Amino acid sequence: MRVIGGNLRGLTLAAVGQGDSAAHLRPTSDRVRESIFNLLQNGGYGNPVQGARVLDLFAGTGALGFEALSRGAESVTFVDDGKAARDLIRQNTEKCRAADTTNHSRQNATRLAANPGQPFDLVFLDPPYGANLGEQALSAAIRGGWLANGAIIVWEESREQQAPPGLVKLDSRRYGDTWINILTYEG
């Protein structure tokens, strides 16, 4: 797994390895990650990555957030409560020399506390496939004030998703067994 584009292009990220078998880490493949960023930067969304405050829910390795940093995001907050994820995000933060532009919030993405800072412009949501956790996490993010008005949400799942209340679906694309659903928050 590596950074695909931007100023960190080609940097190899920490390997998932055996890790914590209970963590069910499933990093977004390089191919799908490249497709996501091509879509964001060339899909008529006005390049929501450049200068964005990014929220990476169910962050796992943090690959999506680090890709965003490499491509011009201002900062990334990683949300994941797993020990294996915390260790991988720490390793990748060191590899990317991104301690000043990243934050790790160790909490369950479906039960987010109130956002202590400014809301986020770009959200990556990559819950365990088929567990119906994405909608719960988005509802928690809306309730907690984590989403800026007009925020773009990239929701990765095993099937096409409908927009939950408060969100508008912009696009859906299938890449193998992965569906990328693009939504926006109109708070």
pLDDT, tens only, 65-78? 999 999 999 999 99
Name the percent of the chain lying above pLDDT 90.
67
**Residue 24 domain flag:** no
Q: Could you write out the DSSP letters of every residue in 55-91?
A: EEET-TT-HHHHHHHHTT-SEEEEE---HHHHHHHHH
Band of pLDDT at residue 140, cut at 50, 70 and 90: very high
Does the pLDDT of residue 28 top 80, yes or no?
Answer: no
**Residue 39 domain flag:** no
**Residue 15 domain flag:** no
pLDDT of residue 19: 46
> What's the CATH code of the domain at 112?
3.40.50.150
- Tokens 């829910």: give the residue: 57
pLDDT tens by residue, 161-182 = 999 999 999 999 999 889 999 9
**Residue 42 domain flag:** no
Q: Which domain holds residue 99?
A: 49-185
pLDDT of residue 20: 47
Which amino acid is present at 173?
Answer: R
**Residue 17 domain flag:** no
**Is this structure's pTM higher than 0.95?**
no
Mean pLDDT of 15-23: 56
- DSSP 8-state symbol, 31: H
**Residue 112 domain flag:** yes
Band of pLDDT at residue 136, cut at 50, 70 and 90: very high
- Tally of structural domains, the chain: 1
pLDDT, averaged across the chain: 90
pLDDT tens by residue, 77-115 = 999 998 888 999 999 999 999 999 999 999 999 999 999
- What SS3 state is found at 38? helix
**Residue 77 domain flag:** yes
Band of pLDDT at residue 134, cut at 50, 70 and 90: very high
CA distances from 168 to 16, 160, 162 (A): 33, 14, 9
- What SS3 state is found at 164? coil
**Residue 8 domain flag:** no
